[in-house]
Amino acid sequence: MTSNQLQHSKNSLGQQFFTFAEPPDEMFLESGARLGPVTIAYETYGQLSTSRDNVVLIAHAFSGDSHVAGCLTDDQGEAKPGWWDSMVGPGKGIDTNRYFVICSNILGSCMGSTGPAAINPATGKPYGLDFPVVTIGDMVDAQKTLLDHLEIDSLLAVIGGSVGGMQALEWCVRYPDMVRAAVPLATTMRHSALAIAFNEVARQSIMADPNWCQGDYYGKKTPDLGLAIARMVGHVTYLSDQAMRKKFGRRLQDKKDFSFGFDADFQVESYLRYQGSKFVSRFDANSLLYITKAADYFDLVDKLTTKESIQDLVGASIKFLVISYTSDWLYPTYQSRELVRSLKRTGQDVSFCEIAADCGHDAFLIPDERLSKLIKGFLGGVAHG
């Protein structure tokens, strides 16, 4: 570990970058393709113990980034809190006074790690659709290489929600000897037909945008309309009927009557349009295509039900805390219960909690003292176990 990395581990200096797989030693992907060089953006919080046994790896959801906690100042001088700032920090659920927290941006993203918007060294231009399709397993392998670089060979816990939960589960299957505990939240062993369908609608909305140009839109007009619609579709799946009814109902947006046209008459229409336009300013359309495809490809059912695939996990000793939410209709509780049953069949120590919440799939991102206490107690048990 370099002096700069050591200083970062103590003081959380913000986003750091690690590059590996320089040609001709490219990274081998599950598809059979090779990729290199690969850059992974990451942030760390807290201090690494002398025995290096207090590491908590946090995996973000599909459009997240490495900035999980604290505040950064953007180009406009505004403070940007971490996406899980309510959970990660001194004295919080994931206590950075006790744990050394790492959060890296996933492979295929556009938040600092190598993805389709990165420069292809073979052409000197952004990859676009020349970027190979990546899987959740590829993302985890890239994280493993980062940990090797940081000289970390053991994880106290790996924690993640949604697509981050998929990564947490993949870690337990690929590298079970490295993981002492895992907390998959609001996630699934594999996508249902409904989840795949919503992702396909989102992808088609991007690819139907005339500015998409088969993914070769960098330096040109970007497919903003398609990306905004894709975000609108996704956002609907993150909420719940209860949340939308409570937040919007059928209330009109700054009107007393219908426009009898196609303006945003209802508050919910205005809200979705706002979410779509806001997303366009921070995310890359091609990254959405690649990450949603990786989530659709993810399938842990066979790995947790066939004798040959679970042999390594059976020999491991991992403590699991599986968490679901009552109003999550994207990854409903029955899918978490299926995960619990599959893990128990491999002899794992599994705890399960369904949290009552009316805010849908995104509930794990919303400050909740119940979740903080649950994770804090679980990690404390693992640390002292």
Catalytic annotation, residues: 162, 328, 361
In angstroms, the Cα distances linking 138 to 24, 132, 162 are 18, 11, 17
Containing 275, the helix (H) or strand (E) segment is helix 267-280
Q: How far apart are CA 358 and CA 337, in angstroms?
A: 19
How far is the CA of 320 from the CAs of 59, 85, 164, 179, 336, in angstroms?
15, 23, 15, 10, 12
Q: 339 near 201, Cβ under 8 Å?
A: no
Count CA atoms closer than 13 A to 158's CA, side-chain side: 29
Instruction: For residue 274, give the 3-state DSSP assignment.
Output: helix
For residue 61, the number of C-alpha atoms closer than 13 Å in the C-beta half-sphere is: 18
Helix, strand, or coil (residue 184)? strand
> 236 vs 69, 102, 315, CA distance in Å?
26, 30, 41
Which of 148, 179, 129 is closest to 27 using CA atoms? Answer: 148
